[in-house]
Amino acid sequence: MAACSYRSPGAGPGLAAGAALPGQCFCGTVDKDRSGVISDTELQQALSNGEWATMFDRENKAGVNFSEFTGVWKYITDWQNVFRTYDRDNSGMIDKNELKQALSGFGYRLSDQFHDILIRKFDRQGRGQIAFDDFIQGCIVLQRLTDIFRRYDTDQDGWIQVSYEQYLSMVFSIV
């Protein structure tokens, strides 16, 4: 699993080293035998979010080919395990407290109000909680934003200085 190792010194907000999220590493593991871990409905739900094609399209061709798709399969299984770990009351949805635990389990240290913002942005079902596929998308966007922030934070102090143009380019490349 890929580790997101952004670290900010001291007690400032940021992402501790060693945090791990399901990797975007398509090592060729193919689960073609449909072991039943992912049901058809779960897969459909996971893929109903139109962002999947963008996320897995490595060559910017606005679609995924077969080998990229098999990577999707493994990736979803990994995420399903993560989701089950944090959906402590087994409701099938992640509420704000479970989300806080999940993100701090990944190593993020974020303010309390941030979790409200995240839920508002990704809660497609409008229930104040996050479903499986929305949870994945939220985590991925958070990871990519953290990655791009880290790239600009050359002295690793948890601060970046950006021009208007840089700011727009950063954001539009991710959300």
Partner 1 sequence: MQYGGAPGGPAFPGQTQDPLYGYFAAVAGQDGQIDADELQRCLTQSGIAGGYKPFNLETCRLMVSMLDRDMSGKMGFNEFKELWAVLNGWRQHFISFDTDRSGTVDPQELQKALTTMGFRLSPQAVNSIAKRYSTNGKITFDDYIACCVKLRALTDSFRRRDTAQQGVVNFPYDDFIQCVMSV
Rounded to the nearest whole angstrom, what is the least distance from the CB of residue 111 to partner 1 in the complex?
6
Query: Counting contacts by CB under 8 A, is residue 171 touching partner 1?
Result: yes
Query: Counting contacts by CB under 8 A, is residue 111 touching partner 1?
Result: yes
Structure tokens at 17: 């080293």
Q: What is the distance between the alpha carbons of residues 112 and 166, in angstroms, rounded to a whole number?
A: 27
Query: Counting contacts by CB under 8 A, is residue 158 touching partner 1?
Result: yes
Q: What is the distance between the alpha carbons of residues 140 and 55, in angstroms, rounded to a whole number?
A: 9
- CB within 8 A of 45, min separation 6: which ones? 131, 132, 133
Residue from 60, 66, 90, 155 touching partner 1 (CB under 8 A): that is: 60
Amino acid at 170: M
Rounded to the nearest whole angstrom, what is the least distance from the CB of residue 109 to partner 1 in the complex?
8
Residue from 62, 66, 90, 154 touching partner 1 (CB under 8 A): that is: 62
Q: What is the distance between the alpha carbons of residues 153 and 20, in angstroms, rounded to a whole number?
A: 20
Q: Which residues bind partner 1 (CB under 8 A)?
A: 8, 12-14, 60, 62, 110-111, 113-114, 116-118, 120-121, 126, 141-142, 145-146, 149, 153, 158-165, 167-169, 171-175
